[in-house]
Structure 1
């Protein structure tokens, strides 16, 4: 099991619970948390991209990641996700190739087709053909990263005789596609990419999640891809304290705020996610036991979402430290596999 941080960048105004903070304050807090994650031995830090809403204020993760790369040494830096239908694929290829170089080959690239109607409206992009637009965009990016002169004549994007002068440092850029639906995961498996996602959004139980992952792996294998390259990161709201009671008392109001202000799935509460085993909130032993269940379901990497709902910075750092001290050591038996995967994707 690998351990990562995940930030959606939800930031609220005029909340009665006094969880308010300025965007500037939050951005700097997340940078400090990323540096702390690097020092504590977390494998990766992942950052969401959203637009036009306080649900997510990070609009250009490549800019944020460039700053994070300068301040860290070992932690891998990921996007979760870059929404391809909103962008020119050549610009995406250029920006993230440059970021991979500046980070010394530490980029984890998560890509997706988007799901929020107000974002499609804001960019004046039709959502009905988002999957086709995504596939066309990804084909352009893959061609561009070969570093050769190429042309592309797709349904959505056309380019003639262009070449990138800066290509990714990694020989093979690790790419994750955001999906946890049965059909979506199966299709991505056939394509030979990794999947990632947020379990509570896509499924109602751990057994259902395991079925989705099993279906993904079967399609991946049948298409002839190398199963050793599979790495499945899953995002779970997390807060760890010395006792179960302390963790719940601290995390519940922040998680409920996050769920109440989400762009979909607003009816859920902490208790719903708890009963479906879709949170990591509790003592170190509680979280270890839950993570072993996710490991059994096929999760290779937990993306710990800890700064949700206005969670105070100092409490996020305290939870991070406790996880590094008491949770991560329980999974050290996977250290060799983690090292082999990191070496494979860096090339």
Structure 2
């Protein structure tokens, strides 16, 4: 099977936009992606910041499930520190029935510093909380009866799901990571799909892949590389010049005014000592997080990425409001017509 493809929604929308229309546009894009033949769609969860406006991926995907037939639906991600593990397992088991098994449970530690502040959780606590929660969710899905747990962050006392998962043992799972290797260690250890999100440069992605190989071998398991998902910004136009003309203003607004303002700029650096002002749009394109240009240019960049980091299974296109709906949809069409067959 060739490289699978999908869309990854944060989703990010300008603060001055009509929220209802923005959400409807996301839904319409998912329906269009299914028509084009994309394999998957992933929906994020955020609670602050003013721009990433889906607080519950599960609710959004339940709505989308009723309007689609084939496309796989992933939570990208449920931020585990912000929810009790039993309630996550309960909602996901229920949603798996509503989607008739089209669901992937993507989990993570949460990425927005403002979300951590909102829930009064110290940043250094998010990964240990995620790790403990993940163990509990897996135990709940794989238990025939009540489950008890008393840990550092969570407790359960003889709790049992009223609605068992659609799939025995629960739906397929994925775990997201950015700069640290914790999530990729867990993915290889537990046989969970790894998900490299946001804008990690190629040298960081290589570390992700090497960690997957090493930890899987240590546990006597095959590398999860075939299930490895990587998110990239991809925009295709008739020419590379036209592609940049279409998206530059929107990209500058999202990155310079929002994402980098949140303190996320260091995640894009190949070298932590490089100056902030050197992390430009052109730098993002040169180091791999962005794949912008003509079909030929995008094919070259994706194939170069594959050569650099080795095998991975799915390329997820991060969606943004950087141009008109018509131009963005045209980019998706050009990708499926002229890029995907050649990667």
TM-score scaled to structure 2, two decimals? 0.87
CA distance in 2, matches of 1:229, 1:300: 7
Q: Which of 317, 320, 323 is the matching residue for 2:329?
A: 317
1:283-322, Cα deviation, whole Å (9 max, x unpaired): 112111211223332332111013x144322222111111
Equivalent in the alignment of 1:329: 341
The verdict on how the C-alpha distance between 1:193 and 1:35 changes in structure 2, with shifts beyond 3 A counting, is same
Equivalent in the alignment of 1:292: 303
Q: CA deviation at 1:255?
A: 1.5
Q: Which of 277, 281, 291 is the matching residue for 2:292?
A: 281
Q: CA deviation at 1:44?
A: 0.3
CA distance in 1, matches of 2:38, 2:176: 21
Kept in 2: contact 1:243–1:282 (CA 8 A): yes
Report how many aligned residue pairs link the two structures.
321
Kept in 1: contact 2:46–2:112 (CA 8 A): no
CA distance in 2, matches of 1:277, 1:80: 21
CA distance in 2, matches of 1:182, 1:65: 28
Kept in 2: contact 1:10–1:54 (CA 8 A): no
Structure 2 residue runs without a partner (length 5+) = 266-275
Equivalent in the alignment of 1:177: 175
Q: CA deviation at 1:163?
A: 1.3
List aligned pairs for 1:84-233, cutoff 5 A: 84-146=80-142, 147-172=144-169, 173-181=171-179, 183-185=181-183, 187-188=185-186, 189-198=188-197, 200=199, 202-203=200-201, 206-227=202-223, 230-233=226-229
1:99-153, Cα deviation, whole Å (9 max, x unpaired): 1111111112211112333212211233332222112211221122134222222
CA distance in 1, matches of 2:160, 2:64: 28
Equivalent in the alignment of 2:68: 72
Q: CA deviation at 1:231?
A: 1.0
Q: Which of 285, 298, 304 is the matching residue for 2:317?
A: 304
Equivalent in the alignment of 1:345: none
Equivalent in the alignment of 1:52: 48
Kept in 2: contact 1:251–1:281 (CA 8 A): no
The verdict on how the C-alpha distance between 1:238 and 1:143 changes in structure 2, with shifts beyond 3 A counting, is same
- Let me know the Cα RMSD of the aligned residues: 2.0
1:181-208, Cα deviation, whole Å (9 max, x unpaired): 45325522234322212363x44xx244
Q: CA deviation at 1:228?
A: 6.1
CA distance in 2, matches of 1:150, 1:258: 44
- SS of 1:105's partner is coil
CA distance in 2, matches of 1:6, 1:43: 12
Kept in 1: contact 2:181–2:211 (CA 8 A): no
Equivalent in the alignment of 1:237: 233
Q: CA deviation at 1:242?
A: 1.3
Structure 1 residue runs without a partner (length 5+) = 15-20, 332-347
The verdict on how the C-alpha distance between 1:90 and 1:185 changes in structure 2, with shifts beyond 3 A counting, is closer
TM-score scaled to structure 1, two decimals? 0.86
- SS of 1:227's partner is coil
Q: Indicate whether 1:4 and 2:15 are aligned.
A: no
Equivalent in the alignment of 1:17: none
Equivalent in the alignment of 2:271: none
Equivalent in the alignment of 2:270: none
Q: Indicate whether 1:32 and 2:28 are aligned.
A: yes
